[in-house]
Each structure stands twice: as structure tokens, then as C-alpha cells.
Amino acid sequence: MAHYQSIALFVVAFAVVALAARQVGDIFAHFKLPKITGYLFTGLLTGPFILNIISEEAVQSLRFVDEVSLAFIAFAAGSELYLPDLQGRLKSIGWVTAGLVFFTLIMATSAVFFMADFIPIMQGMLGTEQLAVAILAGSILVARSPASAIAIINELRAKGPFTQTALGVTVIMDVFVIVIFAISSSVADALLTDVTFDFSFVLLLIVNLSMAVILGGILAKVLSITLAAKLERVPKTTIILLFGFGVFVLSTFIREYSHEQFPFEILIEPLLVCLIASFMVNNYSKSRGEFREIIEKTGPIIYIAFFTLTGDSLELDILIATWPIALVLFGTRLAAIMLGSFTGGVIAGDPMKHNRFRWMAFVTQAGVALGLAKEVAVEFPELGTAFATMIISVVVLNEIVGPLFFKYAINQVGEAHIRKTQVFDGVRDAILFGHDGPTLALAQQLCAHNWVVKVASTNPNFNSAGIDQCDFTIHHISDLSLETLHRLDAHKAEVIVAMLPDEDSYQVCELAYENFGTETLVVRLNDPQNYKRFRELGTLIVDPRTAIVGLLVHFVRSPAVAPMLLGAAENQDIIDIEVRDPSLHGVRVRDLRLPLDTLILSILREGHTLITHGHTRLQLGDRVTVVGSIKSLDEVLLRFDA
């Protein structure tokens, strides 16, 4: 009873530390550092070697957290491998993967083996034992990080053969590394227990892998049944995690039972079982979408717990002693990646420019590599956490510099499609693409608010007939190409509004986003299925089917403000103004001398909306939302302009 009470106390203490780790991770992210590094740092700080909030006894008692997390990491790795996504670049993906696996495995294993006398945990070991440790380390250093790669690709909106190959290789490598680790574990176990390498060993290895495949298939069926059940997401997630934990319990039982009953050990790699199950659910189950949703929603919680506990288990003295070793392994791995990716790309016949930069896409490591390092401590207690500490120090280096390399490579091969920076010319320009009555009405309203408006239409018969006072120009265009946008001086426009069919509107918005960095893109949506595509461009979307309902709701809930949203309020309006006057940078809102009938509602800064108070300081580039009389708003506009 006392034992379970102790575990309960350890769980509560660890939960508090994990909550703190989440905040520290956010702080690290603010400084462009990986959140995982923040979690590891928090764990190291609160662990046995510094603050001792989480004692060594607690770390051992919380081993089940590791096993649940490792199962989840294997599920996540398998869910990334979706076969239809790999079609079209299989030749390049296959050869580059082969090159990376071959060179990384050989060079990393050799480096660890020949540095054995300088690595604390390997000093005094027999040659076969040193080889076992080197094989385990080499297999882990093969790992990549699909999550990091996907995040960078999304951030840069990268598209093209280089990006497609890089992502495909990264995803496949995460699967291969677990298979390689399963084989390496069996080989290392044989070396550490003096098993003879003969036909019986090969047969045992085949039995181990076959049992993993069979158990993976059974687990996939069980997961599919669970996902098909009429349960909420939280109960389903709990059941899936319990099944993953059960795989580790079963693997340990089979290993211990076989060790006692037979002259050999049956070592079933639990990560491989979970990986196979996840792969089968992701590719051959109707529940693929729900499974991926569970992985995405649960991931942040699991990663916080796992990496914080990993930090708690780090041995600070080993970490300090192995940093020079980590730097050597880091350099060796980089050299192996360069050779492997270049050789594979050349054999596949890829462009030489891609081959020269390709290695930069494969430096990053994260979840799977750290998971495998911890798995060694679970499967080989004689190595303790010292082995994991050495590998984690290498992974942290790869995790920090890897994303920088990948971003540089994508930009160098020209596959980044990020928003270009726009320079304000002092005039508020708007370009409207459309050829109907609402286009003309919008143009007229903008002109009334002192905007310089151009209307672009592919309809040669479109004109402003019926408009009493026309202060805008209509440009008849033949296409929606980049050249056409240049002729319209689109680089000067602060706002581009697309009121065309969705494909045409998307073409206009994408060209403006990538080539001009247009500050505000507005689109009238026709098909709701295109909503996500436009949102990825940061476009403001107006859906005619819901816009009227939304306005009516505002009229009911806030009848005083709704007319201002429509521009129907007498002598009052709401506008956004960008802070362009350098003298206002750092000025508190309360120190601004603004007309008394105006009020600052909020500030948009770096994509985040700030609810203002008197102490809020302005920054250049802030988008300030102001409400007031039309005359006073004109004064505010002049005050904020450069």
C-alpha cells in the first residue's frame, strides 16, 4: 500500500513539473529554440542532479510514463507513412534513403566503437560489448524528425521535387530506423550475452521479427475496432495508450519467460509492434482520419511528459563528460548524411543542385531518436541511463541546428513560397478583381473613404454604367498572370480583393502573397471546401452563405456596434491603422494625444491580437483598431502615418 502511495505522490509532483515544463517550452519557442529543448532543460533542472524535485527513486517509479510515451511515439511514426503520398518520387526516395542508412549506420557505429576508450560507459568493456553499444548508437543516429520537417515545410509553404523527396525520405527513415533498431537490439543482446552467431541466431532473429509482425497485425485489428466504437475521443485515446503500454508489458514478460525456460531470449521489439499496427491502421483502415486526429491532439501532452521525464533522468556528470564526444558524433553524422544523400541523389539522377543541398534536409532529430535512446535504458539496464544521456546530447545539437539547415536548403533550391515584405508608398491602394455589381459597389465605398481603387476584370464588356459618381478606374485584363499584376502596380496595393471563381481567386491571392507580400488579401468564397487553402495564405474570407447570418447575430447582440461594421452608423466608423511614425515606437497608449471621441480597441502585432490598456506600448508595424467619428478618425490616421 505504501508503495502505491509513493507512486501517487511521484505522479502528482511530476504533473506539476510537467506543467512548468510546458511554460518553459513556450519561452524557448519565443526565442526560436525547439520546445523539446525547453522540456529537457526543465527536467534536468528539477531532476536528481540539481533541484531534486523529482528524485532518482521517482524517475524509476515513473518508468511506465516512458513506456506509454514510447508506444505513442511509435504510433506517431507509423501514422506518418501513407503510401499514396510517396508515389511519383519513389526512385529518388529509395536511393537517398539507402545511401543515408548505409553511410550513417557504418560511420556512426565505427566512430562510437573507435572512441570507446574515451566514453565513460564503454571504458573497461570487452570488445564485443563495445561493439554492441556502438551498433545501438549507430542505429539511433539514423533517425530523422518528420514532425520538424513538416513544420518547416508548412512555415515556408515549400513545394517541389526537392521538398517532396526530403519529406518522403524523412518519413520512411523514421520507419526504417525502428526496424533497424529491432535488428540491432537482437544483435547487441547476443553480443552482451555471448550468444554464438550461427544459423540458430539467424533463425532466432527471424522468429523475433515474425512475432513482431504478427503482434502488430493483431494490435492493428484491435485499434481499428476501438476507433470504430461509438466512444468520445478521450476514452478512445486512453484505450489506445493502454494497448501500447500493454505491448511493452507483454514484450518484457516474453523476454523474461524465455530467458528462464529456454537457452535463449525471445526479444520482441515493442516499438516495432506499435509501428506496424499504426502503419496498417493508417493505410488499410477506414479510421485513418480519426487515428491521425488522436495522434495530433494527444501528441503535445505526451511529448511534454516524455521529454520532461527524459530530462529528469539525464546524468549531469555524464552529460558534461560526453559533450566532446557528442560534438565528434555530430560531425561524423553530418559527414555521413552528406555522403549518403549525395550518393543516393546521383544514382537516382536528381539535379546536381538538389544533391548539393539535400543533406541539409536530414540533420534534425527529435522524438523517435530520443525514444530509442530511452528504450535502450529499458531493454539493457546494464547500460543504465548513461548511454541515453550521451545520445541525447547529440540529438539536442541536431535538433537545434537542423531546422536552420533545412530552411536554408529550401530557399536555395527556390521551393519556398513565403510572403514577400511590402513597403508602404504613402497612398492607400486597393485592387478589386471582379465583374459584377458588388465589385462596383465595394469600389465606390472604398473611394468614399479616400482609397485609390482599381477594378480589374477579364470581361471586356464590364463597365461602370449605372454608377452616379465613379472615382475609380476599370482595367480590362486578358489573364491573371504575374505580368498582369505588375501592369496593375499590384506591388503598391495594401489590399487586394478577389471576387472571382475560387480557382481564379486563389491564383490571384497566391501570386500577390508570394511576389508582393500584399498586406491584406480578401476573397469571396464560392465553395466551402476551398476554405482551408485560402486560410493557409492568411486570406480574409467572406462566405456569402454565412455572412448575413453573422451580421444579424451582431445586430441582435450588439445593435450599437453592428451598424458601424456595415458603415451605416451616422458619422461613426471602425478602422485599422498601421503605426508608421517612428516617433510613436515605444509610446504608451495612455500618452497618445488623440481626439476625445476616439477609442483604441485592440492592437494586432505579429499575428497576435492584444487587448489594450494604458500601459501598452506601441511598436512600428502595429495594426491599431480605432473607433470614433469620421472626422476624428482622419486626425488619428494622420497622427499614426509617417
The 10s digit of each residue's pLDDT in 439-479 is 888 888 888 777 888 888 888 888 766 666 567 888 888 88
Q: Indicate whether 420 belongs to any domain.
A: no
pLDDT at position 174 over 80: no
What is the maximum alpha-carbon separation in the chain?
A: 97
Nine-digit cell string for 552: 444579424
Q: How much is the pLDDT for 563?
A: 62
The answer to whether residues 135 and 187 touch, using CB atoms and an 8 Å cutoff, is: yes
Same domain, 460 and 525: yes
- Sheet strands side by side (includes 608-611): 572-578, 623-629, 599-605, 608-611
Q: Is the dihedral of CA 607, 613, 618, 622 positive or negative?
A: positive
Q: Indicate whether 626 belongs to any domain.
A: yes
Q: Indicate whether 217 belongs to any domain.
A: yes
User: Which of 154-158, 263-267, 501-505, 588-592 tops mean pLDDT?
Assistant: 501-505
Stretch 156-184: mean pLDDT, rounded?
81
pLDDT at position 330 over 80: yes
Same domain, 535 and 571: no
Q: Residue 574 belongs to a domain with what CATH number?
A: 3.30.70.1450
Q: With 0.85 as the threshold, say if the pTM is over it.
A: no
Domain end (from 385, 412, 439): 412
Same domain, 537 and 571: no
Same domain, 399 and 435: no
Same domain, 235 and 110: yes
Q: How much is the pLDDT for 69?
A: 86
Q: Provide the pLDDT confidence category of residue 222 given band limits of 50, 70 and 90.
A: very high
Nine-digit cell string for 571: 458619422
Q: Indicate whether 418 belongs to any domain.
A: no
- Sheet strands side by side (includes 495-498): 473-476, 452-457, 429-433, 495-498, 520-524, 540-542
pLDDT at position 607 over 80: no
Same domain, 380 and 500: no
Q: Provide the pLDDT confidence category of residue 130 given band limits of 50, 70 and 90.
A: confident
Q: What is the spatial distance between Cα 280 and Cα 437, in angstroms, rounded to a whole number?
A: 53
pLDDT at position 49 over 60: yes
Q: What is the spatial distance between Cα 192 and Cα 173, in angstroms, rounded to a whole number?
A: 27
Q: How much is the pLDDT for 338?
A: 93
Domain end (from 384, 412, 440): 412
Q: Residue 287 belongs to a domain with what CATH number?
A: 1.20.1530
Lowest average pLDDT, out of 187-201, 361-375, 515-529, goes to 187-201
Q: Indicate whether 494 belongs to any domain.
A: yes
Same domain, 358 and 225: yes
Q: Residue 436 belongs to a domain with what CATH number?
A: 3.40.50.720
Total domains present in the chain: 3
Rg of the chain on CA atoms, in Å = 30
pLDDT at position 619 over 70: yes
Q: Indicate whether 298 belongs to any domain.
A: yes
Same domain, 10 and 78: yes
Q: Indicate whether 196 belongs to any domain.
A: yes
> How many other CB atoms are there within 10 angstroms of residue 294's CB atom?
23
pLDDT at position 325 over 60: yes
Nine-digit cell string for 576: 485599422
Q: Provide the pLDDT confidence category of residue 88 given band limits of 50, 70 and 90.
A: low
Q: What is the spatial distance between Cα 606 and Cα 513, in angstroms, rounded to a whole number?
A: 17
pLDDT at position 137 over 90: no
Same domain, 303 and 215: yes
Average pLDDT of the chain, as a whole number: 82
Domain end (from 507, 542, 577): 542
The 10s digit of each residue's pLDDT in 361-389 is 888 876 678 778 877 877 777 776 778 88
Q: How much is the pLDDT for 426?
A: 59
Segments forming the whole domain that contains residue 511:
429-542
Same domain, 572 and 497: no
Q: How much is the pLDDT for 438?
A: 85
Q: Indicate whether 189 belongs to any domain.
A: yes
pLDDT at position 307 over 70: yes
Q: Provide the pLDDT confidence category of residue 425 given band limits of 50, 70 and 90.
A: low
Same domain, 116 and 238: yes
pLDDT at position 274 over 80: yes
C-alpha pair distances (Å), 493 with each of 164, 422, 453, 537, 639:
33, 9, 9, 17, 21
14-23 long-range contacts, Cβ below 8 Å, gap at least 24?
14/54, 14/58, 14/62, 14/65, 14/305, 14/308, 14/309, 14/312, 17/42, 17/43, 17/46, 17/53, 17/54, 17/308, 17/312, 18/304, 18/305, 18/308, 20/46, 21/304, 21/307, 21/308, 21/311, 22/304
Same domain, 383 and 467: no
pLDDT at position 603 over 80: yes
Q: Provide the pLDDT confidence category of residue 215 given band limits of 50, 70 and 90.
A: very high
The 10s digit of each residue's pLDDT in 77-86 is 788 777 776 6
